[in-house]
Structure 1
Amino acid sequence: MKLPVRPALGLITALVLISNSAPGALARERAKDEPALPRTGPAADYPVVIGDPFTIDGTVWTPLDQMNYDAVGLASVGDASLVGVTGASKTLPLPSYVEVTNLDTGRTALVRIERRGPMVNSLLIELSPMAARQLGISGAKGAAVRVRRVNPPEPERALLRQDKEAPLRMDTPPGLLQVLRSKLAEQSPLLPPPSTPPIPPQVTEQMIEQLDHTAPKPAATPLPKPQSKPQAQAKTPVAPIPAPASAPLAPSPRMEAVTVHKGAAPLAPVPAPAVKPAAQPAPKSAGPGLKNGFVVQVGAFSVEPNARELAAKLGGFVAHPGKFWLVRIGPFADRAKAAAALEKAQRAGYRDARIQHTD
């Protein structure tokens, strides 16, 4: 007895086997088993995550993409599981980059913000152990710091993404450190309004001068007093010269040689005028003056060469009223012209620049 043959079923089975053995199917199966490769290079900073508002002990914190973020507060140090020069912030985008300043020493380092935290209202930032060592901060929490958002160049971003240290920034001047510490004492504990990260006030020249009132002021150089009467010199006979018919001849302060013309009327000898006192040179650090005008103050430096280098770069000048060297642009006759220079300074990266009166 012969069994019935099912050719259709055999053909379907063969097609299924062939399709499963195709290169595309094998590649898809292999991709499921292999882990996804991490993103590297500049692409590792994207996408930028802001996130939704959250609450800590009744206080609402709202993440915000704030480019001019500048705050003072207390920092904590995370555990050993945190690698690289990284930090945690309640409101800054993830990732983002900040300059963190140790308010006890002025040392400033570049830190990459990678996570949310710290989940304590009184703390501003949590630092990884590597970031804390670079800043000279020890202990679990309580270090006074300044956190300012920046846009560093790609080579420095790459160093932080590779868990390496970026070069330290210039130390913050002592006068500015005192102002920032005073601001921290006024705002503690850190309880900002919803959606508004704390921002310290602009540092004014008056604040710096009050902090440096003990510093010796440069003594003013007295100008020589003018002589009350011109000193008479010995009269020297002068050969006669012709006088123009249209206008009288102006006396010359010094005549070493003259030409004698026949028929000229004799000219009475003229006494030499008194020597005027030499003009006192302006101080090297003084800038152009304009009463009731405006200047743009870009920054304050404790080192004169740094101030003069920035002034030359921005086309400004350097003033030295006290301990610090102040870089300024101007003066300008009205605030509108000063505003244009202010915008130029801020585009160059000096966001703390401000307009001041010259009087």
Structure 2
Amino acid sequence: MLRWGSVAAMLGVTAALLLGGCSETELVLNTGKVVTKPTQTPPAYKIGQPYQVEGVWYYPKVDYSYDETGIASWYGPDFNGKPTASGEIYDQNGLTAAHKSLPLPTIVQVTNLENGRSLKLRINDRGPFVNGRIIDVSRRAAQLLGFHQNGTAKVRVQVLADESMALAAALTGGSGVPSDQPQPAVPTAAPTTAVTSQALPSTTSSTASTVATAPAATSTTTSTAPAATRAVAAAQPDGRVTQTLVKPSGIFIQAGSFTQYANAQKLTTELSRMGAATMTPVKVGTQQFYRVRLGPIASVPEADRLLEKLVQSGHTEARIVVD
């Protein structure tokens, strides 16, 4: 992945603390990435090939229904001025973010579930590549959302479908996705396993030293300049922070969800040695699943510790969720 303030910005954060109800304001924002050579090419719409970071495969795809809760982190000075996965140069004072699989660019709404602050951001980078993090925002975004000092926050990330589709269309000459280059299939080089469990909706930064790209995938990158440049400028988030009401939420580790009750019960018993473990039946369409979670967990550091323990014990699909 690739990623990237000021005293005036901190004054804006202080002012935001006075917000309440449904008012809006304009406020005056650490993880790892892989650095590649900067490009001077016009903005491009990229879905991307499956890629591997530290032994884990990631599969970029279009998902306009994406709506996920989890833990956000931020990255700043160490990456400021370096290239992002989209080819742009990272600006830690910009309103951007990194995500592991959403197309570049995608417009998302990020809401801090701890204080109700909500902000539009543009995904232009890959990451974060640490278990338990779902998005890495710029330093300015972290300041505006109110977690710059803490480093992490419970968040909800939602793709803004209309804005993202309009941006994709502008960058691809109206097609949204290059018509002659359909979404690439999972390449044979990427490892696959039999499905014995399935993650349910409501699902995830350390420096990655290597990124391996699956060799069989077809690139889905399109650029139309200067229209592309104008489209990105028009889609740039304006920095308005909306104060919304948020209900109390807790941190959990979702260790898995199973179609077989016996498998879910076995994992629940195993997790009960680590803390409060629950098994909940959930239907996805017509399919019945049994979701196994550990929690609620008191803090992000504790959740990180437990998640690492689960992953090391073989539960590699476990993830931190907020509910």
Larger Rg: 1
With the shorter chain as reference, the TM-score category is 0.3 to 0.5
- Could you tell me the TM-score, scaled by structure 2's length? 0.38
Higher strand proportion: 2
What is the TM-score when the length of structure 1 is the normalising length? 0.35
Name the one with the larger helix percent.
1
Higher relative contact order (CA 8 A, sep 6+): 2
